[in-house]
């Protein structure tokens, strides 16, 4: 997929902190969302655990993750977000896309709302 980005808002589950807004790279090869750790903490997202993730070059790395409200294109979901390095480009992963019923047109690389979420 080519480079597609979308405006995303990240909030803590209780909506008690100021949200984090940024342009996120849409990455259908990434399962979870990722943002700089300091931005997530400032938005009130708390680390819940750690997991090992594989970088694009195959290198395994361990990052903390938490859960947050992820909003984009008029849709909202709760998704796992990775507390990434400070200079990391924010990533919108495929789980958040699928949870909201938003897909990527493989031909045009544009995000599209599905008419219905598949249950098959």
User: What is the count of structural domains for the chain?
Assistant: 1
Please report whether residue 120 resides in a domain.
Answer: no
CB atoms inside a 10 Å sphere around CB 78:
13
DSSP H helices in the chain: 37-42, 94-100
- Written as six digits, the tokens of 94 are 């495929």
Please report whether residue 32 resides in a domain.
Answer: yes
Please report whether residue 44 resides in a domain.
Answer: yes
Q: What is the pLDDT of residue 2?
A: 52
Q: Which domain holds residue 108?
A: 5-113
Please report whether residue 40 resides in a domain.
Answer: yes
For each of the chain's 120 residues, which pLDDT tens digit applies?
456 899 999 999 999 999 999 999 999 889 999 999 999 999 999 999 999 999 889 999 999 999 999 999 999 999 999 999 999 999 999 999 999 999 888 888 788 888 777 777
The full DSSP string for 78-93 is EEEEEEE-TTPPPEE-
- Written as six digits, the tokens of 37 are 């750790």
Q: What is the pLDDT of residue 104?
A: 84
CATH number for position 57: 2.40.70.10
């Amino acid at each position: 997929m080519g480079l597609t980005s979308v405006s995303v808002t990240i909030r803590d589950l209780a909506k008690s902190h100021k949200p984090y807004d940024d342009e996120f790279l849409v990455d259908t090869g990434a399962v979870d969302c990722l943002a700089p750790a300091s931005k997530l903490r400032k938005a009130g997202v708390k680390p819940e655990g750690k997991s090992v993730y594989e970088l694009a070059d195959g290198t395994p790395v361990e990052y903390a993750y938490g859960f947050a409200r992820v909003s984009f294109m008029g849709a909202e979901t709760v998704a796992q977000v990775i507390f990434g390095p400070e200079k990391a480009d924010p990533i919108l992963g495929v789980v958040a896309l699928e949870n909201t019923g938003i897909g990527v047109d493989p031909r045009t690389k544009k995000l599209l709302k599905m008419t219905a979420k598949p249950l098959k």
